Structure 1
Amino acid sequence: MNPKTSPNNIQESFDRTLKHTNFQDITIDISEITIDSLLKDGILKDIPIVGTLIHLAKLGANVRDLLFLKKVISFMNGLRNIPPTERDKMINKINDSKEYKVKVGEKLLYIIDTCSDYENSENASHLFKAFLEEKITYDEFLRSANIIERITSYDLKWFLKNTREYMGVDEVNSLISSGLFDLHYEQIDVSVEDQDDYESSNRYKTHINGGETGVTISRVGKIILEVFGK
């Protein structure tokens, strides 16, 4: 394996990019980036991880590898307003804590790879940005990203626009298992009313309330709502 394209080199390139690259001077329209444009010379090649992955692509990478590159660029673009010094400080804080076995950079690569497309990767970046700004904890980022990478951007937009504190199961459909909601069971309440009619065959009238199943927003769902501005 070429040392320039080894997994260790990809990890090192990503770490350098994450900690030290200034994205503020790089204007990127992700929707306009094509696979062909990525392989041509340009300013994006100056970004360590991009240069490494492009080199890999020219050695015969498949379409999936090139689409992964686009997801990486989308993720990095979402951090453009966070100075490298701030990124470096927060990442080192987690890595030095020894609380997590997987280093931040490696974990982010797993997350980006799992995202279905570059829009999902951008959403994950938005969550990581919130961590860098100390709006959420690293653990909250990981839990939120785990949800974001498993739902579509359309699902996220629907959740941000339509969700309420309590909803019916039928309203959330496939999102019931996404982690955005918790199932809520209403307690069954049975009351018996004595109608004081001794000759009536229905002297005792029974009332049954509750027993319905609905959903409430989960703790992580509330974090996502807060981060994305609802």
Structure 2
Amino acid sequence: MEKPENPNKKLELVIKDSDLPSLSKDFAEVAIDGIMDEGVLQDLPLVGGIVGAVKFGNSINKYLSAKKIYKFLFELHTIPQEQRIKKIDEINNSRKYQSSVGEMIFELLEKIESDGKPEILGKLFKAVIEEKIDYETYLRLAHIVKRLFYYDLVWLKNNSEGLRVNGRINDELYTSGLITQDLVNIYEKAKEMNKDRKPDVNDRSLTYLGDMLISIGMK
């Protein structure tokens, strides 16, 4: 009996070895919406094989999975293949992490909503390959993105001015690790912008992780 393909390994191979520049934004926007048809799914470049290796309870789950994988992969399409292979092999060969890159990413994509989170994870992983952030930072940010409501992340982006965060913040966002209430630090930044301005108890600023999320993952 033929052993079933492993979707984790298949995703990693697609990220490393496939012609990602062939991905089309227009194709994604048009074809993804018609992906309920099995034939369309199999014809979807690079994604059909990954999704085909997974057993789904219904076509809705298959559709959502394909949509998330495609959106994630599209964010990597400008990275040269050699660069993708080098970084993924470097991470896997380090033996620092219990799961391979493919396993980790597939698990993340399966557990997040399909709104804008796949694009965020794709942009952040692109930054890993380009060595703008390290893989451990990626995993920390990916965990936060997975846990938080997507539109809270959108709110944070829209209400951030530089490192300063304006407006009332809900509890989940405040405890996420993306925001800090370091009044001394905020006061120093305030002096740089406006020497007469004094901080108050409502002042918040982005942490390092918050800044990376907004400036890289949600640019």
Q: TM-score, normalised by structure 2?
A: 0.76
* Residue 93 (structure 1) shift: 0.6
CA distance in 1, matches of 2:116, 2:214: 17
Percent same amino acid among aligned pairs? Answer: 25
The aligned amino acid for 2:90 is K
Deviation string, structure 1 residues 112-150 (Cα, Å, up to 9, x no partner): 112211521111101000111111111111112222223
Q: Which residue of 2 aligns with 1:190?
A: none
Which of 84, 89, 100 matches 2:86?
A: 89
Q: Which residue of 1 aligns with 2:191?
A: none
8 Å contact 1:185–1:214 — kept in the other structure? yes
1:215 aligns to 2:204 (yes or no): yes
8 Å contact 2:11–2:102 — kept in the other structure? yes
Decide whether aligned partners of structure 1 residues 53 and 219 sit closer, same or farther in structure 2, where only a CA change above 3 A counts: same
Matches within 5 A, 1:14-33: 14-29=11-26, 30-32=28-30, 33=32
1:68 aligns to 2:60 (yes or no): no
The aligned amino acid for 1:218 is T
Q: Which residue of 2 aligns with 1:204?
A: none
* Residue 35 (structure 1) shift: 5.1
Decide whether aligned partners of structure 1 residues 181 and 36 sit closer, same or farther in structure 2, where only a CA change above 3 A counts: same
CA distance in 1, matches of 2:60, 2:3: 21
Unaligned 5+ residue runs, structure 2?
185-198
CA distance in 1, matches of 2:93, 2:58: 34
Q: CA RMSD in A?
A: 3.1
Matches within 5 A, 1:5-16: 9-16=6-13
CA distance in 2, matches of 1:123, 1:91: 19
Decide whether aligned partners of structure 1 residues 141 and 38 sit closer, same or farther in structure 2, where only a CA change above 3 A counts: farther
Q: Looking at CA atoms only, which structure, 1 or 2, has the larger radius of gyration? A: 1
Out of 38-47 and 111-120, give the one that drifted further. Answer: 38-47
Decide whether aligned partners of structure 1 residues 55 and 167 sit closer, same or farther in structure 2, where only a CA change above 3 A counts: closer
* Residue 14 (structure 1) shift: 1.1
* Residue 62 (structure 1) shift: 4.4
Question: Larger strand proportion, structure 1 or 2?
Answer: 1
The aligned amino acid for 1:132 is I
CA distance in 2, matches of 1:42, 1:213: 49
Q: Which residue of 1 aligns with 2:110?
A: 113
CA distance in 2, matches of 1:65, 1:37: 8
The higher-RCO structure (CA 8 Å, 6+ apart) is 2
8 Å contact 1:22–1:83 — kept in the other structure? no
Out of 158-167 and 16-25, give the one that drifted further. Answer: 158-167
Q: Which residue of 1 aligns with 2:194?
A: none
The aligned amino acid for 1:66 is Y
8 Å contact 1:111–1:149 — kept in the other structure? yes
* Residue 67 (structure 1) shift: 0.8
* Residue 68 (structure 1) shift: 1.4
* Residue 184 (structure 1) shift: 4.1
The aligned amino acid for 1:76 is L
Which of 136, 140, 146 matches 2:137?
A: 140
